[in-house]
Amino acid sequence: MIHLLALLLYLGALGFWVRFLMSGARDEGPTLASLLAGLAVVTHAVALGDFWLQFGELPLVGPGAALSSLAFVGGLALLATLPLRDASRVGIALLPFSIVCLGVALVLGIQPSPLSIDFQGTGFVLHVTLAFFGYQGLALAFASGILYLIQHHELKSRRLGKVANFIPPLSTLDALGRVGLWVGFGTLSLALAFGWAWNVQNRGSLAFDDPKVLWAVLSWFIFVGIIGARRRRGRREYRGAVASVVGFALVIGSYLVLRLTAGGDGLFL
C-alpha cells in the first residue's frame, strides 16, 4: 500500500507539471508539482525501508523489488533538483521513468526473495548506498540532457512557445547534467571499490563472472564515455546531452538484458 501511495503521488506530480506546461502558468503549478514530487520520493523511501525492516533484506532481489529500487533512483535524482527552482522542472523527464518502473513492480508484486541471501552487512549497505547515488547522477544527467535537446531544437526552430518557456535555459541544463555526471561517476567508482572489497572479504574473489558486476563495470565505462564526449572540442554541451541520453538508455537496456538472460537472484546493484 505504501508503494501504491508513492505511485499515486508520482502521477499527481507529473499531472501538475504537464498542466503547468500546457497552461503557461508560472507560480502555482511548479510549487504544487514539486511538493507532490518530494512527498512521493519520501513515501517511496519509507516503502523501501519498510520492506527492509519487514523482510530483513534489501529490496534488490526479484523483479518487483529490483524495479521499485530502480524507480527510486529516478526519484532521488528528482529530489536533488527540487531546491533549485526552475531546474526542478527536469522532473517532467524523470517522473515517467519512475512511474513506469514502480507501476510494473506493483503488477509483478514486490515480494521478498525465496533464496538464501548472503549479501548483507554494513559494507554491502554502503556499497548499495553509493551505487544509488551513482545511478542517481546518471539519471539526472539523462533528464537534463533530454530537455537540453528539446530546448535546443525549440530555439533553433525559433519556436519560443510554451515548451521553450517551461524548460530551463540551456546553460542551467548543461550545468545540472555536468554536476550529475561527475557526482555519479565519483560515487559509482567508490561503490565498485567497496563492492569488490566486500566480495574479496566474503567470497574470496572479485566476481568478474557475475552479471551484476559486469553491469556495474559496463555502467562505469559508459560514464567514462560520456565524460569523454563532453571533453572533446566543439559543441561540447550538445554532444554531452546526446551522450547522457544514450548512455542512460544503454545502462537501463543492459540491465534488462542481463536480468532477463542471466536469471539467478536478480540483484539490482
Q: What are the cell numbers at 202?
A: 566474503
Mean pLDDT value of segment 229-254: 87
pLDDT at 180 over 80: yes
Residue 89 confidence (pLDDT):
78
Q: Looking at 26-40, 139-153, 240-254, which range is the least confident one? A: 26-40
- Helices 236-262 and 170-203: angle between axes, nearest 10 degrees: 40
Grade residue 17 by pLDDT with cuts at 50, 70 and 90.
confident
| Model pLDDT, residue 204 | 60
Domain spans in the chain, listed from the N-terminal domain onward: 1-111, 120-269
| Selected residue with higher pLDDT from 58 and 174 | 174
pLDDT mean over 76-84: 80
**Mean pLDDT rounded to a whole number for the chain:** 81
